[in-house]
Amino acid sequence: MAITESPAAAVKTPAPAAEPTPMVTIRGVSKAYGPNVVLRDIDLTVNKSEVVCLIGPSGSGKSTLLRCINFLEVYDRGEIRIEGQLVGYSDTTPRRRLSNAELRGLRRNVGMVFQQFNLWPHMTALENVAEALVQVRGMDKGAAADRARQMLARVGLADKADSYPSRLSGGQQQRVAIARVIAMEPHLMLFDEPTSALDPELVGEVLQVMRDLAADGMTMVVVTHEMGFAANVADRVAFLDRGRIAAFGPPREVFHESPDPRLTQFLQTYH
Ligand code: ADP
Ligand code: MG
């Protein structure tokens, strides 16, 4: 008896153009510290595998926005969703705190890299990366060490596995911190001025690791003053000014075509 293919298998239809999948959806988010309004009606969507850079003057609300996305801050109005799931709470969404289990579930998928690397000084690079795999993921020590070694190799530090942070340069320490985050396989990575604490000659190696991550399809929101990185790596750039997104779009548009006078002034300071 002849084996016939089903018509569906036999006729190969071209794949439809991939619709962007939202990873982070921010709608109408506002936040104040007392009388100080720091986020004003923020709308921002970050799609899967997209790199969005947040730029703007000091105090414009960049860190607060990242902290809201990462559930380290409560916002007052609007909503933030990660992969469709509501993060935190506000007046316009059911005022309900997430359960600890829900928070853990969300945090599992979001990694954050800070200006200060916050490595454990008494642990080697390898132990710094392996620790969370054991503590949070419940991996056994051998498997965690293997995975940590792979992650260190990915950030170009295979040969530093047994070094303590005090023996590493700032750039190397930040790469260990990044390895520690990517070991957890986040769906989304948030970076808050990851190179601002570094000597200028060490900035490039960290940006290169971030570039590699972006090329591998990591979804990233990056607060940075590195305009070259934003221009070359970001899919879209958001300029925050006094808590508002004053310009948003592909880097070419934001850097060269935006009429916003405060953006022009800001770019003159950072170029
Ligand atoms: P950026 O990261 O763009 O420099 P931030 O988000 O850190 O800006 O700060 C935005 C504003 O919010 C600033 O006016 C800052 O002083 C204020 N702010 C930030 N964190 C707090 C806090 N925990 N309590 C009170 N005010 C804060
Ligand atoms: Mg900040």
pLDDT tens by residue, 88-139 = 765 555 556 667 787 777 778 999 999 998 999 999 999 999 999 999 889 9
For 142-175, how does the pLDDT look when each residue is reduced to its tens digit (9 = 90+)?
999 999 999 999 999 999 999 999 999 999 999 9
Pick the residue whose CA is nearest to atom 22 on ligand 1.
33
Pick the residue whose CA is nearest to atom 26 on ligand 1.
33
Rounded-to-integer distance, Cα 46 and Cα 82, Å: 9
Supply the pLDDT for residue 271. Answer: 64
Work out the average pLDDT over 227-255. Answer: 96
> What is each CA distance from 155 to 17, 88, 215, 241, 246, in whole angstroms?
33, 32, 14, 33, 34
Q: What is the Å distance from ligand 2's center to 146 Cα?
A: 34
ipTM over 0.95: yes
Contact at 8 Å (CB) between 24 and 188? yes
Pick the residue whose CA is nearest to atom 18 on ligand 1.
33
Return all residues near 26 (Cβ < 8 A) that are at least 6 apart: 42, 43, 44, 45, 65, 69, 78, 79, 80
Its pTM stands at 0.90
Q: What is the Å distance from ligand 2's center to 193 Cα?
A: 7
When the pLDDT of each residue in the chain is averaged and rounded to a whole number, the result is: 90
φ, ψ (nearest 5 deg) of residue 223: -85, 120
- Which atom of ligand 1 approaches the CA of 66 most closely? 6
pLDDT above 90: residue 41: yes
Residues with CB under 6 A from ligand 1: 33, 36, 38, 56, 58-64
Rounded-to-integer distance, Cα 180 and Cα 119, Å: 9
